[in-house]
Amino acid sequence: MKAKTHSWAKKRVKITGTGKYILAKSCKRHLLSDKSKKAKGRNKYWVVASSANTRSLRQSLPNWL
């Protein structure tokens, strides 16, 4: 049986040229008026997934590499 890609993963995860998984940071969706400019700026960019999460991401995206 063919392995399928998880829909949540293909919407939220990108793979860099070196094969690392990057994800968007959390806490940037709502209640932004109560957060400081500094707190909103800290969540601006993507972050490389930790090594603990890399295994589950690799299983969720079987056809990407």
- Rounded Cα gap, residues 15 and 37, in angstroms: 29
pLDDT higher than threshold 70 for residue 17? yes
Q: DSSP letter at 19?
A: S
Phi, psi of 38 (to 5 degrees): -65, -40
Domains of the chain, each with CATH number or no CATH: 1-26+38-65 (4.10.410.60)
Q: What is the pTM of this model?
A: 0.74
Reported as a single tens digit per residue, the pLDDT across 36-60 is 999 999 888 899 999 999 999 999 9
User: What is the structure's pLDDT at 65?
Assistant: 64
Kindly tell me the number of DSSP H helices and DSSP E strands found in the chain.
3, 3
Q: DSSP letter at 43?
A: T
Total residue count of the chain as it appears in this document: 65
pLDDT higher than threshold 80 for residue 12? yes
